[in-house]
């Protein structure tokens, strides 16, 4: 059975969690879900959750920041859910896997928001967690968004400028032990 790891990012002062609307570039397009994805072979689920969180939202988190919330089985996948508590609501830097995001209270999710099956199964657990989540400084993390990745070079780098002949001649003379104004053979 394949395993995926997801992160419910919450803000205790607002009592809301962030959900992302999956884009056409992914499976389950148009469905809302937490940030996350597949656990690679040999990877610990909490490390996968942090990796996926960074890739999909730009949020930087350490595995020690994550709280295990539960799991759901959907089809042939086991979905593990972790919680991350932020000091304030932030605007994530979405990648191509999501079209938009919303901060929502679980009770505010209506028929207009189609949840991924695992998110639907896990939402009652998230709702209970949010109701008992107080702004505790020992578990609240200040959000840090990673800088955007450098875009790949699409054009060739500029050709190096040709060296000036005199500067090249001087450098060559110095390498050979001569000095400007003296012949290399004079010593």
Phi first, then psi: give them for residue 123, nearest 5 degrees. -60, -40
User: Is 49:5 a contact under the CB 8 Å cutoff?
Assistant: yes
Q: So where are the chain's domains?
A: 2-141
Q: Is the pLDDT assigned to residue 128 strictly greater than 80?
A: yes
When the candidates are 3.90.79.10, 3.10.580.10, 1.10.3720.10, 3.40.50.300, the CATH number that belongs to 2-141 is 3.90.79.10
- The mean pLDDT value of the chain amounts to 81
What span, in angstroms and rounded, lies between the C-alpha atoms of 5 and 118?
A: 11
Across 69-88, average pLDDT: 91
Q: What is the pLDDT of residue 50?
A: 95
**pTM tops 0.75:** no
Beta-carbon-side half-sphere exposure of residue 100 (alpha carbons within 13 Å):
6
**Cβ distance 100 to 29 under 8 Å?**
no
Q: Which residue has the tokens 């148009």?
A: 30
pLDDT at position 187: 44
């Amino acid at each position: 059975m394949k395993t995926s790891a997801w992160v419910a990012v919450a803000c205790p002062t607002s009592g809301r969690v962030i959900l992302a609307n999956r884009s056409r570039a992914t499976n389950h397009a148009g469905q809302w879900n937490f940030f996350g994805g597949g656990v690679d072979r040999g990877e610990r689920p909490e490390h996968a959750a942090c990796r996926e969180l960074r890739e999909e939202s730009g949020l930087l988190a350490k595995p020690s920041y994550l709280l295990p919330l539960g799991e759901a089985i959907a089809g042939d996948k086991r979905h593990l859910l972790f919680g991350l508590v932020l000091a304030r609501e932030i605007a994530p830097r979405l990648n191509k896997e999501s079209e938009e995001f919303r901060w929502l209270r679980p009770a505010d999710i209506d028929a207009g928001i189609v949840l991924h099956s695992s998110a639907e199964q896990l939402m009652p657990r998230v709702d209970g967690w949010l109701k008992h989540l107080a702004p505790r400084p020992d578990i609240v993390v200040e959000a840090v968004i990673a800088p955007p990745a450098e875009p790949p070079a699409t054009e060739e780098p500029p050709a190096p400028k040709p060296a000036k002949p005199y500067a090249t001649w001087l450098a060559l003379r110095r390498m050979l032990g001569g000095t400007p104004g003296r012949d290399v053979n004079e010593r």
